[in-house]
Amino acid sequence: MSNKNFKKITSSHWGAFEAVIENGKLVSTNPFKHDLNPNNISKLIPKAVYHKSRIKRPSIRKGWLQDPLGRSRHLRGNDDFYEVPWDEAIEIASNEIKRIKDKYGNKSIYGGSYGWSSAGKFHHAQTQLQRFLNSIGGYVGAFGSYSTAAAQVIIPHILGMNFLQLIFNFQNTWPTIEENTKNILMFGGINPNNSKVSMGGSTRHENDSWFKKFTNKKINLINISPQKSDAPSGSSWLPIIPGTDTAFMLGLAYELESKSLVDRDFLKKYTVGYEKFKLYLIGQKDDQPKNAEWAENICGVSAETIRSIATKISQERTLITVSWSLQRAQNGEQPYWMATTLAAMLGQIGLPGGGIGFGYGAIGGVGNPIKNFGGLSFPKGKNPITDYIPVARIAEMLNSPGSSYEFNGEKRIYPDIKLIYWCGGNPFHHHQDLNRFHKAWQKPDTIIVNEPWWTSTAKRADIVFPATTSYEREDIGKANGGDNYIFHMPKLIEPVGESKNDYTIFSELSQKLGYHKEFTEGKKDIEWIEQLYNEFQIFIKNSGIDCPSLDELKDKSWITLPVAGKEFASKPFQEFRSNPEEKPLQTPSGKIEIFSETIDSFSYSECPGHPIWIEPDEWLGSKLTKKFPYHLVSPQPIDKLHSQLECAISDIPNERPTPVMINTEDAKELNIKNGEVIRIQNSRGSCLARALLSNEIKNGVLSLPTGAWFDTDEEGVEQQGNPNALTFDKGTSRLGQGPSAHTTLVNIVKEK
């Protein structure tokens, strides 16, 4: 833009906002006028964009450059970098990629990324990286996400559908709930803060408004979580011992079964395997009935309360919801399976406002009555390499190449990775047991990173390319689901330093490697944006919906598609309920699988053919509590998204190390004062945190949000308050192999 002073609307993961540009510089932001509950995160953007931690020029790690044979891998994270011209950096990187390809093959390249990198549809770092690697012969990829890995495996087995499609397209929407639901049983809560962000954007932030309506209508909101703040105000709170939700659900199920409150006609017509599960439930298999007293001894919620809830939910329309956080724990498949079983026992699946729901409040848009459309995606191409790993098993892959592991019924072999290319995301934020991960990270020959800031991942790379932020390039903003806004995202400012966008970086690399045509198809970035939007416009118009041209979108800054409203409310499982023979589920039986013959055939002791309570390695009922008496949960931060914009927060006085919520009585017993810096530790590591005393967390539980940039001192103590210095890095089970971050016991030490 030629005018150096202007205001312009643009989009981000945490919502649309107005950017204020003065003399060519981004100086401030204002809320988007149509946002019902604007997110304050955008206020951090100007500070972050010009932060001292921005990577200004291409940089090569000193030890890697000087020692081409040994690569001095052990110095990653503790080495200096040389700044070099772009042409030299591209030459060095392309030569190294070619060396790895020629010597070891593309199966030795791991394409690491995480999709939150940009709200723009074209400059989406994960897609850019995958297209580049596909164009040069492929790469080893990953299945699932750290957010939903276990759910992505278990849901297709029991409900026969893709989990991510289910959450946006096949769940009760807010208007349906308001009209029909009497009880919302929220396992893990429905977090009001997490719902303010979403992949690609969440514009109007409507959840708070809907829950006010629910409260006014006297819908019974029950928050079953160790933290009161995990659910909106107006919810009743049942503090539960972390990791024991399945036991609580089994206690409810036993009460339903023993009091003949089960809808047996529904179970017979729409499910398979209940009778096998029932043998476990009533204790015929193990001489232990899963009654309310049994559940109380495990989960800490009274038997009387469990019995009362069981009676109430059997008499009124009830929606059982399960947060994403519950499956990010050892045996994380079980609460999802058991919640579905419990909903089936009530017989309300397929009834408006009843049944089962997943991930309300996990991200914005879930629950909004919107007809979701795909499109506007930069094509990735086809990956010639078929090998992949479960996303959270990267440390095992790097530590044990060639070793076998089990995943979802398959016996697989970890590949031998020689080169990691990471673009978009910060694995030293979202992976568990970061001290172990740091050691595993030393194994590959070379690590290349595209990144705007000197994050903990960039500091542990060998070749670092400075990438633009989404405010330094043009794009189109469209949420992945639950939002009907489309934004033109203008280039607001010139790139900081010598940074380039990922498409340009990969174009230059592909040129050197001889794959330029395959990657670019002869198009510049703006030409791709025009093509993608024009294809989307045609698709939308063919659906009978008017869609303006790209020039019109640029002129207006944003548009809404007429696909939102009560008439677009989804009707989950209603067709299946009306006619299960003609509209079966895509499971082997065509029905809801309370007992899965497929899973049972895998012979996993920790994940048999029906849902069970199985004691995790670390929880408050463990013998380990003698040494580590507190359970650590690590929720998403409220002041940013994951670790994005962390540099802008870390400069604020008293914001780092990260505040850790601790029960007031626990703090009194330890003589810890509010605001005091403490050290949290276990056998995996230790980190500093700032005590935040509260009565809104269960005793014996600590809550330390994720997102701090991993930073250890000479003694290995993490300084910023990153909980993944402590978390448990083991797969949820052999079935899902997801992350088990919430299975973590710790101790507290007062700092001197």
The residues that are catalytic are: 114, 116
Cα dihedral angle (593, 599, 603, 604), rounded to 10 degrees?
A: -100
- Distance between CA atoms of 723 and 651, rounded to whole angstroms? 19
Angle at 517 between CA 512 and CA 520, to 5 degrees: 95
Sign of CA dihedral 373, 376, 380, 381: positive
CB atoms inside a 10 Å sphere around CB 388: 18
- Distance between CA atoms of 408 and 144, rounded to whole angstroms? 12
| Nearby residues of 502 by Cβ (< 8 Å), 6 or more positions away | 123, 125, 128, 129, 423, 424, 450, 467
Alpha helices, DSSP H, located in 263-404: 264-270, 274-281, 292-299, 303-315, 333-346, 394-399
- Distance between CA atoms of 417 and 396, rounded to whole angstroms? 11
Cα–Cα separations (whole angstroms), residue 534 to 487, 489, 522: 14, 16, 18
CB 367 within 8 Å of CB 697: no
Alpha helices, DSSP H, located in 137-233: 149-159, 163-169, 174-180, 207-216
Report residue 102: phi and psi, to 5°: -70, -35
Pairing assessment for the beta strands 419-423 and 685-694 based on DSSP bridges: unpaired
Residue 471 half-sphere exposure toward CB, CA atoms < 13 A: 29
- Tokens describing residue 24: 């060519």
Tracing tokens 């972390």 back to the chain, one arrives at 242
Tracing tokens 């150096």 back to the chain, one arrives at 4
SS3 461: coil
Angle at 287 between CA 281 and CA 288, to 5 degrees: 55
CB atoms inside a 10 Å sphere around CB 116: 24
For every residue of 463-524, DSSP letters joined together read: EEEEB--TTSS-EEEE-SSS--EEEEE---SPPSTT-B-HHHHHHHHHHHHT-HHHHHTT--
Pairing assessment for the beta strands 485-489 and 558-560 based on DSSP bridges: antiparallel
CB 144 within 8 Å of CB 738: yes
Tracing tokens 């903003």 back to the chain, one arrives at 477
Counted residue by residue, the chain has a size of 752
Q: State how far Cα 151 lies from the chain centre.
A: 11
